[in-house]
A and B are shown apart, each in its own frame.
Chain A
Amino acid sequence: MEKFDKVHGVAAPMPLINIDTDMIIPKVHLKTIKRTGLGVVLFDEMRYHDDGQENEEFILNKPAYREAEILVAGDNFGCGSSREHAPWAIKDFGIKVVISTSFADIFFNNCFKNGILPIVVEEEHHAVLMEDAHKGENARITVHLEDQQITTSDGVVIEFDVDPHRKHCLLNGLDDIGLTMEKDHHIDNFEDHASQARPWV
């Protein structure tokens, strides 16, 4: 996995609450057997008209936000399905950070597995970031993972929390499976114990 360090980029505002995984990527695009190439259908039903033409009103179609690397989104972002196609599409579009007041659990997990940093902030900070994001392409936001800080275009610094293990994996681009396999003997021991305690499993 690519290492995550710092992002300095345009932030797109999406204040709508409860943006679900069907909105992020509708099921018609889940038939792929690959992880890549889904950026073009990110937010498909909001982003394109029925005839396939771009909806000019949609935030990521506006010239200022076409290269957005950060999303400032409404509460409970990513609710719904477990489809990892949602973070795959976000990543493929070029977005590396999603900021909200809360995320759905599975989506939140899935982001870290794909080098995307989801950040939970308090409502007051969310309002500041949302306002900054509305300023368009001249208002670049900086997200520094090592320092756990977001800096707005006006220089306001907002600190954020991140799980230390996940931070370590993102900063170093580590693959979870490789790390777990180093603990193989613990899994062997558990299986030995469990096969005695619960042989029917």
Chain B
Amino acid sequence: MSPKTLYDKIWDAHVAHEADDGTCLLYIDRHLVHEVTSPQAFEGLRMAGRKVRAPEKTIAVPDHNVPTTPDRVNGIENPESRIQVEALDKNAKDFGIHYYPVNDVRQGIVHIVGPEQGWTLPGMTVVCGDSHTATHGAFGALAHGIGTSEVEHVLATQTLIQKKSKNMKVEITGKLQPGVTAKDITLAVIGETGTAGGTGYVIEYCGEAIRDLSMEGRMTVCNMAIEGGARAGLIAPDETTFEYVKGRPHAPKGAQWEAAMDWWKTLFTDEGAHFDKVITLRGEDIAPVVTWGTSPEDVLPITATIPHPEDFEGGKVDAARRSIEYMGLEAGQKLSDVEIDTVFIGSCTNGRIEDLRAAAEILKGKKIKDGMRAMVVPGSGLVRAQAEEEGLAEIFKEAGFEWRLAGCSMCLAMNPDQLQPGERCAATSNRNFEGRQGRGGRTHLLSPAMAAAAAITGRLTDVRELM
């Protein structure tokens, strides 16, 4: 048998039907659902008199719209947001799917709740009406975002119509330097490939620096595979993965665990398997990075200066000019001189316990700069509870951060957590698009430790100076 990649293996195990032209029906093991991209899909089912084919494999949680202030227990003030969340409440009940409502302690960002509850397991196919579904690839699961029509298709048939993508390998060799994290890896890779570099591919991340990451770090890396244009990102499961999964509420137990492990241990890329594209970065060469523009590919080490648009080629010249103007920056300006108004720590990229630990480590015994607005939005109610137990919440509060309830919050600013026009934010989230965090808002993407450093000094800061 010819050697297979990890992606080939998972794909082959899920093809329910293949047409002559290669169009496949891919069986879906887990369908995650949130309130923004699902109402029209459930409405479609109702209109056609269809049921959810596999409600036991379908998990819903509201996250995009929910306020993160403590008063949310009294209900959601914004009428449109409330209607969307109420629609999910009703759809979950009517169609009999698993549900974590707003005030359940397990509620949180769908991509944090899935792994936390053991819904996401190695070798699975996982989809959600959200592009950051790529996160689940950290478990060696084939996971990607879908549109609402496809949400409806999966609800009705538990399959997706797919053609296979190409294989791409991203290898990070060696060790990371102090102060460099999973976020820096994933941003550095996008800086290298560009936001369209992964289009048409499924990426497998490998190499010593990836192996050395915790599950939290691996989720951060895979989360942003979509920002590089890839359909999905994958990391082969290993002891770190199995250790994380074992004992989670929906992970297999007893004999089933043993059977699962037998299969999971076969989930790696065979020696000699073919990759259509290979990118290699040296872990030692990766610095703490930030974004300067309005595309996640606009990545530079914190020690660099804002580029000149003329340094680019083709359409990127105009795009860079527009970005620099939108961001209110000057070509040649040092990144470490850029002053920040707001710091946001959270999101499906960096809202897990390890992220909060990394930020708290920098903030311990320090205060944020006068006038700075800073907030921590834990990725789930359970992350929040754990951070409180570990004393991290106290560190954040004493430093001057707001300590919020779980949700997507200012990552996409659908709830009341938004930037004002011109307001500049250091954010641990995943997109720096124009208007992403609020109309006219300016976003610099960075790691939790770098965000904490910026909160203290009031400007983009090399975290290594504070370590």
Contact = CB atoms under 8 A, between A and B. Distances in A.
Interface residues of B, number: 81
A187 B16 contact: yes
> Nearest 6 A-B pairs (CB), nearest first?
A200-B252, A113-B149, A31-B80, A190-B16, A33-B39, A110-B147
Interface stretch (B81-89, B170-178, B332-340, B391-399): B81-89
Interface string A158-192: 00000111000000000011001101101101110
Interface stretch (B151-159, B349-357, B449-457): B151-159
B315 A104 contact: no
Interface of A: 15-18, 20, 22-23, 26-28, 30-35, 45, 50, 74-76, 79-84, 87, 102-106, 109-110, 113-114, 163-165, 176-177, 180-181, 183-184, 186-187, 189-191, 194, 197-201
B433 A75 contact: no
A50 B421 contact: yes
B246 interface: no
A187 B159 contact: yes
14 contacts: A17-B314, A18-B195, A23-B434, A31-B84, A33-B39, A104-B196, A106-B226, A110-B150, A113-B150, A163-B163, A177-B48, A177-B157, A200-B257, A201-B29
Nearest to A187: B16
Nearest to B30: A201
A84 B146 CA distance: 9
B27 interface: yes
Contact of A183 (B13, B17, B295): B17
A66 to B, nearest CB: 23
Contacts of A18: 195-196, 295, 319
A180 B433 contact: no
B229 A32 contact: no
B450 to A, nearest CB: 23
Nearest to B157: A180
A184 B27 CA distance: 12
Contact of A26 (B36, B48, B435): B435
Interface in B175-232: 195-196, 199-200, 226, 229-231
B379 interface: no
A27 B418 CA distance: 11
B129 A82 contact: yes
Contact of B146 (A15, A20, A23, A106): A106
B156 A82 contact: no
A95 B380 CA distance: 40
Given A22-B431, A33-B87, A113-B147, A79 B43 contact: no
B195 A79 contact: yes
Contact of B322 (A16, A102, A200): A16
Interface string B308-321: 00000011101100
Contact of B156 (A110, A181, A189): A181
A197 B16 CA distance: 14
Contacts of A200: 121, 252, 256-257, 259-260
A186 B435 contact: no
A180 B435 contact: no
